[in-house]
Structure 1
């Protein structure tokens, strides 16, 4: 590679790394505890668990909905969801209005068999960490900003790969020059850990960027696919009374045989129309359990109005979310994710150190030039 090309790639790598440095450190530092968010919530007592109910039939869904409304009088139900990993747990989300702001929602867990409230969900310190990680408490603008920082991370990774061969062509792989200066030793560690974490950082960076576009993708689905699904019912107003949730569940399962219900969106919520329920169904394999299929049901009669697959961009979003936090392989994968996260923090930190060390070195050389010139006169 020509020297001029190397200098150009070096500039790209330097500034695509430096500009988002503080935000990348925020993302990877907050991302570390989020890998173990379930375990931490359970340890701190913020993860309600149902009583043992082996062999007992689940309670009617309408009974759970009534219990949720009784627990939060004056509010309306937005969503009811079923925990994929804990069959005995049902979550109900209420708000001041069907289209109320997410920050105003109350999330409460219920025993799926006894319809008994188990406590609030998502109220512990992990919620603060999650908000910092996803949008820095700045809403959609914060998400898109962090998505931009994620794109710069991808540029930094790609440019680092391009530069790796020219800068290490005289060294064996994984060489640490222990007898050289501190700056050189850190450069070797920076290059080594960068190579070790490259694929992981690309996956986490790319899935993180996709996740920041979630709201935009949902709006696109609502204005295209969902609009087509409800087009024949465009003249219908909000339901005067809601159909029984037991009927909604039964007919949704008939419309999607072999699938389970992930969650039900009530009429008027961001995931439904003003007149319809939408039951989001999931498969029962490790992969298909991450993908959802919407079933549109009349809000008053529970009659199935339409059902179709989600578009590819929402499927990509659904697959990227658990991959981002290492939720596919249980604790072994989480430990690997955590180790790679720590390594990436070291790569970012060492990159900042190398930049400052290089500037100090150049400054020292520049300041020494006049002295050398006077000595030669």
Structure 2
């Protein structure tokens, strides 16, 4: 294969992978901007009661007390999860009509972590999806289509990565006669935008590759968790497969303390109740995380017997779930504070320019080609008319 034919193949790959994913990537980049600052925006939009002012060192309220308050508010519903926020003094109790019910009917109740006071009775999940941040998240993750939407968006992310790789292959040969980063501002508009497209593509190369690959991994979260549950968790649960669900659940506070003792140095951040799709019918799934900058993004679940409150096992996640956990902070840039978030937002904006300019270049090229064809047709018509007149 000649160099020219190789470059032609790479050009074809770059053009079509870019065209297919551009519209979806534009939506993903636009919705990604507010999601980078989701914590700040959600705090600004929060209409719940403020946290109680308490002295430093005030111990948290008992989780059993908080769970009972949530049960009393919705006696006909089941508790799905409890989330203990380590950034804000709040505890969220997830409620649902029943396990396995329509996820849109679930909701949360927010309590003050220190006093146990009710702060907010949240909307239904179906209503949360229609809020500003809910719409941004849905358009970014699954386009309101659930798992099929997640897999489709993941495929678009994969095409984006292929477009980046093919763009890198083409950059050198197409720009070899120009200084690196040159922008021919005095030439035609199309050439100027072509140079800008290439320059900004190089500037965002590493960031786009990282965000694209981590986005693909994130979209595989549901099947990866399902694989883990169907293999390693299923083996752990094999001795309990014939056991009935405990008639009376053990203390929630006791379960979290038992999990904390099983993993000294880790912080308990949430727990799924028996019947939740991430737990088992017989166990609490207590999620912990490390204390260092790296391990704070790595989650280790502890299975606690929901009848006795005793630890059954520490279920160390497999490598693919570890990769998933590490990909999330890299994708949204939420591991380095506000400076990194601002950097992520600026690179996101530059990527939007790259995508939009690529679409413009394709349209401009099509128009130029159509104009050339029309000019050739006119020339042919004129030549034919002149030949007839000469006869």
Normalized against structure 1, the TM-score is what?
0.96
Report whether the alignment pairs 1:218 with 2:222: no
Following TM superposition, by how much is the alpha carbon of 1:73 offset from its aligned partner in structure 2, in angstroms? 3.4
Distance 1:351 1:249 in 2: 52
More off after superposition, 95-104 vs 295-304? 95-104
Paired position in structure 1 for 2:151: 144
Structure 2 Cα separation of the partners of residues 47 and 284 of structure 1: 29
Mind listing any 5+ residue stretches in structure 2 that lack a counterpart?
Answer: none
Give the root-mean-square deviation of aligned CA atoms. 1.7
Q: CA separation in 1, counterparts of 2:259 and 2:374? A: 76
Worse-superposed segment, 305-314 or 94-103: 94-103
Report the structure number with the largest CA radius of gyration.
2
- In the alignment, which of 125, 131, 155 is matched to residue 132 of structure 2? 125
Provide the C-alpha distance between the structure 1 equivalents of 2:193 and 2:53, rounded to a whole number of angstroms: 53
The verdict on how the C-alpha distance between 1:48 and 1:232 changes in structure 2, with shifts beyond 3 A counting, is: farther
Cα contact 2:35–2:133 (8 A) shared by 1: yes
Are 2:76 and 1:74 equivalent residues in the alignment? yes
Where do 1:30-41 residues align within 5 Å? 30-41=31-42
- Matches of 2:73 and 2:296, distance apart in 1: 30
Residue 236 of structure 2 corresponds to which residue in structure 1? 229
Q: Distance in 2 between matches of 1:191 and 1:323?
A: 24
Provide the residue aligned with 1:26 in structure 2. Answer: 27
Task: Please say if 1:134 is aligned against 2:134.
Answer: no
Provide the secondary structure at the position in 2 that maps to 1:277: strand
SS at match of 1:294: strand
Match of 1:351 among 350, 358, 364: 358
> Which stretch of structure 1 is more off in the superposition, 327-336 or 358-367?
358-367
Question: What is the distance in 2 between the residues matched to 1:252 and 1:14?
Answer: 52
Given that 1:49 and 1:89 are in contact with CA atoms closer than 8 Å, whether structure 2 keeps it comes out as: no
3-state SS of paired residue (2:308): coil
Cα distance, 1:48 vs. partner?
Answer: 6.4
Shift of 1:120: 4.5
**Within 5 A, what are the aligned runs for 1:286-365?**
286-365=293-372
Give per-residue Cα distances to partners, 1:144-174, cap 9 Å, x unaligned.
1111111111110110010000111011112
Q: 1:207 aligns with which of 210, 214, 217?
A: 214
Query: What CA distance in whole angstroms lies between the structure 2 residues aligned with 1:165 and 1:19?
Result: 24
Structure 1 segments (4+ residues) deviating >4 Å: 46-49, 373-377
Residue-by-residue CA offset, 1:75-107 (whole Å, 9 max, x unaligned): 111111111322x22111111113334322112
Mapped to 1, the partners of 2:92 and 2:259 lie a distance apart of: 18
How far the C-alpha of 1:46 sits from its partner, in A, is: 5.0
TM-score by length of 2: 0.92
1:13 touches 1:160 (CA, 8 Å); kept in 2? yes
- The answer to whether structure 1 residue 268 and structure 2 residue 275 are counterparts is yes
Q: Is the 8 A contact 1:109 1:118 kept in 2?
A: yes
Contact kept in structure 2, 1:42 and 1:48, CA below 8 Å: no
SS in 2 for 1:68: helix
Q: For residues 208 and 103 of structure 1, what CA distance do their matches in structure 2 show? A: 24
